């Protein structure tokens, strides 16, 4: 009986194709739709996809690390191009993708800024899936019309004028989820839009003492705290997706959030330009903060997962997958050879900004060590929520950012 059954079992396993279990935090409606586009593409290429969804990024990364420490790593995991990712690569715990990158002509077809983010000591250790910018300005067309606002704000002064009109109309002027990472995200958006590229890089990349102690940063902090008066009482602890829903429903007027928010509008059947507005900054010269989703491939004991991992890396960066994923997720394709005219006006605006090297800056996850980023997030959130003078908050930020312990 065994001689009769085993060949059939082995044949079925072979036909099933390489299997991956993928740990990720694509769990909101728009993110889930994008994940299915990637999973479907992998299945179409002959593979099997096992979904391991975890609600939040920190928890998902903790699951990955725990499984790696226990000797049962996932086949693949969503990550961001951050310092923790670089540490895993330097510890020899991730498979390099140099061969896949060479065959896929990544050096020719992917932006240099993104390749640099996933390159560690000369080797590529992640497959880029999507390019994100975390500081887009979103607007509800219905809310703006109700408040008598004819156009989205294009300067900090216009931003506060619009917020005042929305408040007078009885709407939530600024939709904001009061979680520490969202507090920092809002601060970064204001720093980029009010301070410009030079101040953003002087603060986060160069940790320049004059910039950290200067009046320009203090004025950013003053205006950041001023935004507090425009959020609603339900803000503390609210998720970004529930916060975006306030704009989708027309209850709120404006919000700063990453381009992943577009998936929530799309899932609700809304269209950019008709139902909602999107802009990668208050002005055409605003810094474009580069972030993104990547897939990393932890090493297994015997290397047997390698074929499945390489297949997923190829599928994730394939043209059709990139267009399908970005259309659902709200992101921008990682490939520069694609015709993005099939994507909506938001994605096209992001793609145009990405081509302007003078606007590009790295996200804080790329520029800061994990301990610094955690401390910065806590300090900004404390300042947002407590009665702390701007000058005292500035001194705290300067102390955190001038701690130059190696990442």
pLDDT by residue (tens digit) across 3-51?
A: 443 344 333 344 468 999 999 999 988 789 999 999 999 999 999 999 9
- Looking at the fold, whether 332 and 194 belong to one and the same domain comes out as no
Dist CA 373 CA 235 (whole Å): 22
- Looking at the fold, whether 248 and 393 belong to one and the same domain comes out as yes
pTM, entire model:
0.80
Q: Does residue 230 belong to any structural domain of this protein?
A: yes
- From the CB of residue 369, how many other CB atoms can be counted at a distance below 10 Å? 17
- Looking at the fold, whether 141 and 224 belong to one and the same domain comes out as yes
- Looking at the fold, whether 259 and 172 belong to one and the same domain comes out as yes
Structurally, how many domains does the chain consist of? 2
- Looking at the fold, whether 218 and 366 belong to one and the same domain comes out as yes
Dist CA 348 CA 356 (whole Å): 13
pLDDT digits (tens, 9 = 90+) for 120-136: 999 999 999 998 899 99
Dist CA 253 CA 398 (whole Å): 33
- Looking at the fold, whether 203 and 229 belong to one and the same domain comes out as yes
The mean per-residue pLDDT over the stretch 165-171 comes to 98
The pLDDT assigned to 406 comes to 42
Q: Does residue 105 belong to any structural domain of this protein?
A: yes
Residues forming beta bridges with residue 288, ordered by sequence position = 360
Within 8 A by CB and 6+ apart from 217, the residues are: 191, 195, 199, 203, 211, 394, 397
Q: Does residue 406 belong to any structural domain of this protein?
A: no
Per DSSP bridges, beta strands 123-124 and 276-279 are unpaired
- Looking at the fold, whether 349 and 255 belong to one and the same domain comes out as no
- Looking at the fold, whether 194 and 103 belong to one and the same domain comes out as no
User: Does the pLDDT of residue 403 top 90, yes or no?
Assistant: no
- The residue among 369, 286, 328 whose CA lies nearest residue 86 is 369
Per DSSP bridges, beta strands 48-53 and 127-132 are unpaired
How far CA 186 is from CA of 106, 138, 180, 339, in Å, comes to 33, 13, 10, 32
- Looking at the fold, whether 141 and 166 belong to one and the same domain comes out as yes
Q: Does residue 8 belong to any structural domain of this protein?
A: no
Q: Does residue 11 belong to any structural domain of this protein?
A: no
The mean per-residue pLDDT over the stretch 171-199 comes to 97
User: Does the pLDDT of residue 351 top 80, yes or no?
Assistant: yes
Range of the domain at 250: 136-289+361-401
- The residue among 169, 164, 186 whose CA lies nearest residue 177 is 186
């Amino acid at each position: 009986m065994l001689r009769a059954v085993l060949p059939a079992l082995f044949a079925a396993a072979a036909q099933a194709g390489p299997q991956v279990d993928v740990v990720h935090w694509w769990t909101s409606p728009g993110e889930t739709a994008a994940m299915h586009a990637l999973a479907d593409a992998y299945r179409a290429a002959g593979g099997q996809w096992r979904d391991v969804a975890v609600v939040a990024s920190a928890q998902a990364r903790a699951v990955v690390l725990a499984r790696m420490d226990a000797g049962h790593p996932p086949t693949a995991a969503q990550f961001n191009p951050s310092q923790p990712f670089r540490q895993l690569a330097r510890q020899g715990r991730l498979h390099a993708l140099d061969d896949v990158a060479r065959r896929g002509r990544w050096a020719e077809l992917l932006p240099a800024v993104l390749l640099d983010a996933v390159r560690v000591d000369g080797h590529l250790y992640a497959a880029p899936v999507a390019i994100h910018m975390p500081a887009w300005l979103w607007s509800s067309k219905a809310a703006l019309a109700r408040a008598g606002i004819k156009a989205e704000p294009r300067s900090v002064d216009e931003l506060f004028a619009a917020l005042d009109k929305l408040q007078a109309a009885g709407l939530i002027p600024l939709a904001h989820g009061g979680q520490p990472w969202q507090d920092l995200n809002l601060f970064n958006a204001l720093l980029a839009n009010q301070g410009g590229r030079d101040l953003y890089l002087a603060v986060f990349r160069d940790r320049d003492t004059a910039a950290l102690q200067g009046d320009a940063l203090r004025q950013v902090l003053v205006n950041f705290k001023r935004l507090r008066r425009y959020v609603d009482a339900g803000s503390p602890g609210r998720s970004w997706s529930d916060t975006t829903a306030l704009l989708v429903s027309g209850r709120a007027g404006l919000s700063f959030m990453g381009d992943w928010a577009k998936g929530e509008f799309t899932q609700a059947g809304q269209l950019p330009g008709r139902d909602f507005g999107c802009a990668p900054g208050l002005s055409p010269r605003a810094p474009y903060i580069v972030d993104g989703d990547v897939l990393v491939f932890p090493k297994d004991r015997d290397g047997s997962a390698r074929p499945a991992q390489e297949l997923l890396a190829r599928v994730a960066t394939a043209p059709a997958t990139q267009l399908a994923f970005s259309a659902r997720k709200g992101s921008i394709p990682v490939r520069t050879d694609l015709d993005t005219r099939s994507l909506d006006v938001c994605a096209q605006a992001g793609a145009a900004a990405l081509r302007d090297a003078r606007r590009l800056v790295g996200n804080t996850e790329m520029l800061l060590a994990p301990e610094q980023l955690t401390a910065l997030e806590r300090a900004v959130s404390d300042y947002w929520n407590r009665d702390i003078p701007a000058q005292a908050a500035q001194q705290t930020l300067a102390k955190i950012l001038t701690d130059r312990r190696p990442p």
